[in-house]
Structure 1
Amino acid sequence: MNFENNLAFARSLDQHDPLHHLREEFLFPQQHGEPFIYLCGNSLGLQPKTARKYIDRQLSNWENLAVEGWFEGETPWMFYHKELKEMMANIVGASPLEVCPMNTLTVNLHLLMVSFYRPAGNRYKIIMEAGAFPSDQYAVESQVKFHGYDPTDAIIEVAPRNGEHTLRTEDILAAIADNGEQVALVLFGGINYFTGQWYDMPAITKAGHNAGAVVGFDLAHAAGNVPLQLHDWDIDFACWCSYKYQNAGPGGISGIYVHEKHFSDSSLNRFAGWWGYQEQERFKMEKGFLPEAGADGWQVSCSQVIPLALYHASLKIFEKAGYIQPLRQKSIQLTAYLQYLISEVNNSLGFEQYKIISPARPEERGAQLSIVAKYKAKEIFHALVANNVLGDWREPNVIRLSPAPLYNSFEDVFATAQRLMNISKELLTSQQ
């Protein structure tokens, strides 16, 4: 598409956008009596207007049914998580049996590593991306220590080449092949939180399996953002949060995926709890853990009903959208338009003030563009916020802007670039 740097063009894209009406499903924060242009869905998604209704329904159940709410009413809490499983499965490309909403992200990562990081003999190392989100780094470090290994030896981090910001797939695959006989687990983020790079998950999985390793992914920045086919890609396990692109509220419930090929493997370790026990026998309260079929067998504690209700509200909007493919088509256009407009800002300034470090090719990134500001980066970020553009900041000089296709418009993207240009001209008049 040949883009144009004018408001009429942006509005014409919105007029032809079949998903534009979904914007009305969300509440936008306000400042100075005006809504923010909200470009921070990579950190926390907006609140669905229906969220309060879904919570109120469960509060009403609690009020009127009390403990009987576990078994009575329209949505008995005992089975409430099952209402979400098919919608979750459509988002990550799995069967409903392979997914389960439970706990929070890093808790689930630990629980899954109990099952799928099984070091033995010479095969004890974990390969991951350098610069992974700190929570993943800490989880992996503590897991290898728990098994008695030195993290400096047991963790192999694959870093970008000198002068580059993103990883080359061939370097990831080479690291797996070069260390194959020692690798127990390959664990990557689906999308890197800092650069927005979407890793070649099928290729990484195939390489890991060829090396004899288990392969898992943290999908915090990928689930609800890019099309995933976890089952068909033969990925062993994954987990994600629901509060970023899936708009399920701050600290929202996490989800897990376990490939069905592992369901019959009785040798897998688990940190078990009673909610993972076989559903039909659970209330007999007997000794000896017998897991429920599928991913539900990894549950530990009883369902978190209010977080489930928030996730339910958002998943119903994804259902209205037709799930990920229509959203992905719009997302590619939104980021491409923002990419074009950033280059227009640089042209207007007469020098490269802004450098996008996210991959240039849409198929290698999600909804996020990470932008390095050459001069006065933090001042510019704060000026954007003051002018009702809310992205987020990462040290030392990166502004992350993430137009989410469920609620962002092309006019949002155009207005952001216009405000960025005006702010830049005001703050950078002495730069060349």
Structure 2
Amino acid sequence: MNFKNEREFAQKLDRQDNLAKYRDEFIFPKVNGKEVIYFVGNSLGLQPKRARKYVDEVMDDWANLAVEGHFYAEKPWWDYHERFCQPLSEIVGAKPTEVGVMNTLTVNLHLLMVSFYQPTQKKYKIICEEKAFPSDQYLIQSQVGFHAKTVGFDVNDAIVEINRREGEANIRIEDILSKIDEVGDELALVLIGGVNYYTGQVFDMKTITEAGHKVGAYVGWDLAHAAGNVELKLNEWGVDFAAWCSYKYMNSGPGNVSGYFVHEKHHNDKDLSRFAGWYGHNKERRFLMEPQFDPVHGANGWQISNLPILSMAPYLASIELFSEVGMPSLIAKRNLLTAYLEFVLHEIDKETPNTQFEIITPENQEERGAQLSVYLHGQGKELFNYLMKNGVITDWREPNVIRLAPVPLYCSFEDMYEFGQILKTGILNN
């Protein structure tokens, strides 16, 4: 498509957009009395209008039924989490029995590592990416430190980071594969973010998973920036486990409940370690209060605690939107919207000679989702502050990067054009 950096052109794209109506499903903050241009759905998605209805429904059931809400609410609480299995399976490319909802992201990764990180003195290393999100770094460091004390391996060489080449913003797939081969029999686990939070790079999860399995390692993925954003085929790719937060692209609310995946090939493995709890026990016998743990078959067998219904309610509301739209339609709009934003950035770059934009997110659509990370040469945080004061909500990452996430559910093409005009004014006036 031949793009134009013109308001009329952007409005034409919006009129042709089959998903444009979903913008009205969300509540936008306002700056100076005007709805913001919201580019931080990769940190916290906007609130769906229907979320309040779902939360109020739980509050009303609690008020009117109290404890009986577990069984007699319109959506009974005791199996509330099962309503997520089908729609989530479609979002992450899994079978309904392979997905569940519980806890928060890092908690779930810790719990899944109970099953999938069982190091020995000879097989104890973990491969992760350089500059992973800090929670993942802390998670892996603490897991390695915990096991090193009892197993007896050298904690200093247990974590193997895949580095970017000098002068490059992204990690090359060939460097990941060669490092997996190099570590070989000592590799216990590959654990990488499916989409790098800083650059927006989407990793080739299928190829990396195959490489990890080839040397006898488990492979897991942190899908915080991938779920609801990029195409996933977790079952087909043979991924061992994965987890994701629900409050970014899936709009469930701040710090909300996490989703997780355990491949069906592990469901009948009685030797696989796990931390057990009451809600992972055989559903039909749960209220018999039996002394021996008998896990529910499937991913729900990794459940531990009673369900956080009030947290799940807004997530269920958002999942309903995803079911209506479908990931193929979201991805198609995402690609066009992100490409148009990229075009607008390049056009503004030409019109502002004192600034150079370096987009460090891969240009290839197969290697990016709804995010462009932009290095601002010749501009500092003053420009970011200008954008925020003028109704463009984005975020800043040191040393000089702004991340822009044009979420297809609620961002418009006219947003992309308007952002370019605000950006241009900010550069020329600073």
In the superposition, the TM-score normalised over structure 1's length comes to: 0.97
Report the counterpart of residue 301 of structure 1 in structure 2. Answer: 305
Contact 1:41 1:404 in 2 (8 A): yes
SS at match of 2:72: coil
Contact 2:374 2:402 in 1 (8 A): yes
Report the counterpart of residue 239 of structure 2 in structure 1. Answer: 235
Contact 2:106 2:135 in 1 (8 A): yes
| Structure 1 residue identity aligned to 2:228 | G
Report the counterpart of residue 98 of structure 2 in structure 1. Answer: 98
Report the counterpart of residue 37 of structure 1 in structure 2. Answer: 37
Summarize deviations over 1:15-65 as a string: whole Å, max 9, x none: 101101010100001111111110100000000001110000000110011
Q: Partners of 2:269 and 2:358 in 1: how far apart?
A: 48
Contact 2:355 2:379 in 1 (8 A): no
| Structure 1 residue identity aligned to 2:365 | P
Summarize deviations over 1:238-270 as a string: whole Å, max 9, x none: 000000000000011100100000001111111
User: Which deviates more from structure 2 when the two are superposed, residues 144-153 or residues 376-385?
Assistant: 144-153
Contact 1:354 1:372 in 2 (8 A): yes
Summarize deviations over 1:75-99 as a string: whole Å, max 9, x none: 1100111111111111000011000
User: Which deviates more from structure 2 when the two are superposed, residues 67-76 or residues 195-204?
Assistant: 67-76
Q: CA deviation at 1:307?
A: 1.0
Report the counterpart of residue 374 of structure 2 in structure 1. Answer: 371
Report the counterpart of residue 289 of structure 1 in structure 2. Answer: 293
Q: Partners of 1:388 and 1:353 in 2: how far apart?
A: 22
Say whether 1:269 aligns with 2:273.
yes
Q: CA deviation at 1:362?
A: 1.2
**Runs (4+) of structure 1 moved beyond 3 Å?**
none
Say whether 1:147 aligns with 2:147.
yes
Which runs of structure 2 are paired with 1:206-245 in the superposition (5 Å)?
206-245=210-249
Report the counterpart of residue 159 of structure 1 in structure 2. Answer: 163
Q: Partners of 2:162 and 2:156 in 1: how far apart?
A: 13
Count of aligned pairs between the two proteins:
426
Q: Partners of 1:331 and 1:230 in 2: how far apart?
A: 21
SS at match of 1:186: strand
Report the counterpart of residue 403 of structure 1 in structure 2. Answer: 406
Q: CA deviation at 1:360?
A: 1.0
In the superposition, the TM-score normalised over structure 2's length comes to: 0.98
| Structure 2 residue identity aligned to 1:281 | R
SS at match of 2:235: coil
Q: CA deviation at 1:14?
A: 0.5
Report the counterpart of residue 120 of structure 2 in structure 1. Answer: 120
Say whether 1:9 aligns with 2:17.
no
SS at match of 1:100: strand
Report the counterpart of residue 129 of structure 1 in structure 2. Answer: 129
- Counting aligned pairs with the same residue, the percent is 53
SS at match of 2:273: coil
User: Which deviates more from structure 2 when the two are superposed, residues 66-75 or residues 132-141?
Assistant: 66-75
Q: Partners of 2:3 and 2:424 in 1: how far apart?
A: 17
Runs of 5+ unmatched residues, structure 2: none
SS at match of 1:231: helix
Q: Give the superposed CA RMSD.
A: 0.9
Contact 2:246 2:259 in 1 (8 A): yes
| Structure 2 residue identity aligned to 1:191 | V
Contact 2:355 2:427 in 1 (8 A): no
Contact 1:367 1:404 in 2 (8 A): yes
Q: Partners of 2:6 and 2:85 in 1: how far apart?
A: 43
Runs of 5+ unmatched residues, structure 1: 428-432
Which runs of structure 2 are paired with 1:188-203 in the superposition (5 Å)?
188-203=192-207
SS at match of 1:255: strand
Report the counterpart of residue 183 of structure 2 in structure 1. Answer: 179
